[in-house]
Amino acid sequence: MIQRDSLTRHLYATDASMYQEVPEGVAFPKTSEDIQQLVRQANTHRFSITARSAGTSLAGQTTGGGVIMDVSRYMTQILEMNEKEQFALVEPGVIRDILNREAGKHQLLFGPDTATTNRCMMGGMIGNNSAGSFSIKYQTTREHVREMEVVLSDGSRATFKPLTPRELEAKKKLDNLEGHIYRSMLKLLERHRELIETSYPHKEIIRRNTGYALDKLLEMQPFRADGRPFNLCELLCGSEGTLAMTVSAKLNLVPKDPHQLLIIPQFKTLEEAMRAAVEIVKYDPAAVELVDHIILDATKGNIEQRKNRFFLDGEPRYILITQFEGQDVAKLHQRAEELRQRLSGLNLGYAYPVVDESDKMKRVWDLRKAGLGLLMGLGEDTRSPSFCEDTAVRVQDLPEYVQEFQQILEKHDTGCVFYAHASVGELHLRPVLDITTPAGLEKMKTIAGEIADLVKKYRGSLSGEHGDGRARAPYIPKVLGEEMMPVLKQVKEIWDPEYIFNPGKIVNPKPMEADLRFSPEYKKPAPETVFSWEKEGSFGEATELCNGAGVCRKLAKSGGTMCPSYMATKEEKDTTRGRANVFRQVFEGDHPDGFASEELREALDLCLSCKACKSECPANVDMAKMKAEFMHGWHEQNGSSLKERFFAEAGKLYPLASITPKLANAITASAPVKWGLEQVFGIDQRRDLPAFAPRSFGSLFKAHQRKGTVQSPEKVVLFVDLFSWYNEPDVAMAAVHTLETMGYEVIISKHKETGRPQLSKGFLKDAQQIVREVLDDFRDYVEAGIPVVGLEPSEILTLRDEFLELCRKDQKELARKLALQSFMFEEFVADHADKLPGSNQKQKVLLHGHCHAKALVGNQPTVEALEAAGYEVEELQTGCCGMAGSFGYEKEHYEVSQDIGELVLFPALREKKEELVCAPGFSCRHQIKDEVSRKAWHPAELIAQRIRGLVD
């Protein structure tokens, strides 16, 4: 039941916090009985249990030295959706967005809305008492949990819910741990009532989550005659898994308002923004979110978020994303206009754009939600450890509180990121510190203490929603007072006398600086590498980029491509985060395993090198490049297999096979040969290898030349890859026809490879040789300013990506120029669409984008090129097709390849049977042909057909 292998333990050593602690093992319960059995084992064998779902906690509460209990793999069911009574019964591994997609079918929703909703899970939201952007309207998770079924520290089960006085008396009489909890908690609350009420934060602060929620229990019967029924669920919310293990929860759902509208005031100074926030809350908003210039600047360098900056007016230093919701859209616009006039009249802000289209509002919120990951991935020079980022004060206190916070920063000569929930007085304030130096570490501890004193001064909360965990627990005495600490300890011991559940969190914490991921003892990896790693600074810095935010854990229905293998397997080792964590751990230290690590090789096995992480990961982790570097080092130490060489060196075999294509096709399609290919090269027998065309592109183009080609001062170099040359020459000929029709003289490049197969298999020296030869041969084209146009996205985009990292130093400037002059075919056509013949006829086409294109360019150029040719394009929201070059052909990967395709792509194509299908990627087209029996066209074919008037 408990996995104790080294890889699994290292995968679960970190979360999104600054901590790293390798556990004894990891358990993946499927049922409540499994959790009970695990708890009983813990009692017998004296180990601790730390509950974890998505592992996106920022205070270290999902790290621990005992057993990590991960509910995210199996306990993911919505057990009941009750529209009439407006509740959902869920297991702790249910993702918040999935819950709301189901609730949305009934015009209901679960209100709390964190920045991590596409991967955070209800168990974690309960543990942290999460709130999110809309807490001014929906408050916190605590207000939406009706009942909880839990496993207690002795292995028994209990259900907590609101109790009538009679039911409460009955609970007190139980002769078990549950009865003991009720009796002891009521006595504790009565005994320490006055101390709790005077020590805890202002009741006006919605997001108060420091310590255990004893103040919330005192609002209930029997302590207040007019209070709500006694319900220990409110204590469990925010208890960080230190009191009980959640089995299921009944969650309150609320009706969705039909209309939303955003107004986004923009400011030059933080003071203006804070004063404006105080005004805005008077207009009954559903959310008011601060985003500062540091995050806004970071969006410029993130491919995924760059397109979401459309609403910004110039370069604001601060913005307040304000959402109004209601039944009448006209009234929402009226309220927004009244707010605009109010702020303008007070000289607060200089621009107030209104956004009311749903797709554009989503883009604004996507930018806001990316904020945490973006700032956590800014690099070591702007590293911001999360230790005081979760404080909350009353909204009216916010301007003065922020001013005093800034004074503390100035005293310590550092800056700060300011963002998040201005509507409820909580800002995520993240000082920039380098805690890998002794001075930086001491400064963090000093600032943490001073911030805790400041929070106490305003009677605020040290933790608003991220939890106390390890980072803030040492400072709870400053905020609640030393007298409260024995009380909190009593709470822990009433529920968990042996400290089995998540010890060291909230009470009895280790020092803040214990078990840090980065500390003065940390030794940055510095192995010899083939890539130059210029963008990241070094290979060592590349291994540090991942911040644990866990965006790579989103599932297919959330959109995007990263990480396709995780979407299929749901295993942490198949996330970018999991792989990055193992990378860092095996390369750091005095005696790193590095390129000899079996664990890392296993973690990388299902990485498809799709490059989605390069754009979708907020920290821009490029796992494809990291994998290539590691596999190169692995080959250097361990040699390479025949199978790996076969896929990397296909270019040597293609010319031979194309001499007699019919014979080659017949041989490779025969059952005995398929069996032999599986045995020798690992090619799954269920796969058909791509057929060789009767005539290669070289032959077809020579025939075309004999008929006469376009002679023009405007020239393009057409890079025809191996697959277009030997397997699908019609694609390349279609490109020639299109480019000539546009008035270009087409020059065919001598080279057919840019090193993509070699890169994907880790043969970097071979790829490096190809890079250097291509650059030398393309020098004249580059110097003449002739654009280079490619048909296969992964091949042509290698010129813009890896070439810059693999070229000789004397070729660096040439490589930069070539990168600027290189285009995917559809990119080039879109940029010169005015040269295409006009067409009024429209035909529907479904577009499945190539992973590398989406990561480095986006689908928009393909959409624009097809539209310019007269097509009506529906961009399918598909991720990876699952083929990914050779990946889908390999026997050990065949099933995963199919599972990935079945996530979105295959069902979408089966549903839309009538439309044309466009897929720029060679692998994608063959995956579609093999698994859906549909013909998929390259954009060049579709555009050429339109030009010729031959579209079916």
pLDDT score, position 838: 74
pLDDT at 139 over 50: yes
What percentage of the chain has pLDDT greater than the value 90? Answer: 87
pLDDT at 375 over 70: no
Inside any domain, residue 226: no
pLDDT at 649 over 90: no
Beta strand ranges found along 351-510 (DSSP E): 354-355, 416-421, 428-431
Measured CA to CA, the distance from residue 519 to residue 435 in angstroms comes to: 5
pLDDT at 951 over 50: no
What three-state secondary structure class fits 319? strand
Decide if 391 contacts 404 (C-beta within 8 A). Answer: no
Torsion angles phi and psi, residue 250, rounded to 5: -95, 115
> 782, 806, 831 — which closes off a domain?
831
Domain of 150, CATH number, reads: 3.30.465.10
Residues 634, 661 within the same domain? no
Residues 133, 244 within the same domain? yes
Decide if 739 contacts 718 (C-beta within 8 A). Answer: yes
Query: What is the arithmetic mean of pLDDT over 1-27?
Result: 95
**Residue 32 CB: number of other CB atoms within 10 A?**
18
Inside any domain, residue 66: yes
Q: What value does the mean pLDDT of the chain take?
A: 94
**pLDDT, tens digit, for every residue of 821-873?**
999 999 999 999 999 987 777 899 999 999 999 999 999 999 999 999 999 99
Inside any domain, residue 383: no
pLDDT at 75 over 80: yes
> 831, 852, 871 — which closes off a domain?
831
**pLDDT, tens digit, for every residue of 922-944?**
999 999 999 999 999 999 999 99
Query: What is the arithmetic mean of pLDDT over 577-592?
Result: 92
The H or E element that residue 842 is part of is none
Q: Which of 326-330, 440-444, 748-752, 911-915 is the least confident region?
A: 911-915
Residues 609, 733 within the same domain? no
Residues 879, 812 within the same domain? no
Residues 705, 624 within the same domain? no
Residues 248, 315 within the same domain? no
Decide if 846 contacts 922 (C-beta within 8 A). Answer: no
Domain of 769, CATH number, reads: 1.20.1050
Inside any domain, residue 315: yes
> 255, 290, 322 — which closes off a domain?
255
Residues 27, 78 within the same domain? yes
Torsion angles phi and psi, residue 429, rounded to 5: -100, 115
Residues 625, 765 within the same domain? no
**pLDDT, tens digit, for every residue of 223-244?**
999 999 999 999 999 999 999 9
pLDDT at 875 over 70: yes
**Residue 48 CB: number of other CB atoms within 10 A?**
20
Decide if 460 contacts 202 (C-beta within 8 A). Answer: yes
Burial of 186 (0-12, 13-18, 19+ CB in 10 A): middle
pLDDT at 374 over 60: yes
Residues 631, 658 within the same domain? no
Q: In sequence order, which residues have a C-beta less than 8 Å from that of residue 244 and are 6 or more positions away?
A: 148, 150, 151, 152, 153, 158, 236, 495, 501
What three-state secondary structure class fits 534? coil
Inside any domain, residue 469: no
Whole domain around residue 116: which residue ranges? 1-161+231-255
Tokens of 39: 């708890």
What three-state secondary structure class fits 435? coil
Residue 196 CA: distances (Å) to CA of 202, 393, 847: 12, 18, 60
Residues 746, 658 within the same domain? yes
Diameter of the chain by CA atoms?
99
Query: What is the arithmetic mean of pLDDT over 304-321?
Result: 92
Residues 662, 765 within the same domain? yes
What percentage of the chain has pLDDT greater than the value 70? Answer: 98
Instruction: Please give the tally of structural domains in the chain.
Output: 5
Measured CA to CA, the distance from residue 794 to residue 791 in angstroms comes to: 9
Query: What is the arithmetic mean of pLDDT over 605-619?
Result: 92
Inside any domain, residue 396: no
Tokens of 146: 């009706």
End-to-end, the C-alpha distance of the chain in Å comes to: 58
pLDDT score, position 370: 79
**pLDDT, tens digit, for every residue of 262-309?**
999 999 999 999 999 999 999 999 999 999 998 898 888 777 788 899
Inside any domain, residue 476: no
pLDDT score, position 952: 40
Confidence of residue 376 (pLDDT cuts 50, 70, 90): low
User: Of 105, 32, 93, which Cα lies nearest the Cα of 253?
Assistant: 105
Query: What is the arithmetic mean of pLDDT over 654-672?
Result: 90
Residue 686 CA: distances (Å) to CA of 657, 771, 889, 926: 21, 34, 9, 13
Inside any domain, residue 845: yes
Q: In what order do the strands lie in the sheet with 2-3?
A: 2-3, 25-27, 67-70, 49-52
Domain of 848, CATH number, reads: 3.40.50
Domain of 372, CATH number, reads: 3.30.70.2190
Query: What is the arithmetic mean of pLDDT over 181-204?
Result: 97
Measured CA to CA, the distance from residue 262 to residue 352 in angstroms comes to: 10
pLDDT at 643 over 90: no
pLDDT at 398 over 60: yes
Decide if 242 contacts 501 (C-beta within 8 A). Answer: yes
Q: Which of 361-365, 393-397, 416-420, 861-865 is the least confident region?
A: 416-420
Query: What is the arithmetic mean of pLDDT over 213-220?
Result: 97
Residues 741, 813 within the same domain? yes
H/E/C letters for each residue in 903-924? Answer: HCHHHHHHHCCCCEEECCCHHH
* pTM of model > 0.85: yes
The H or E element that residue 552 is part of is none
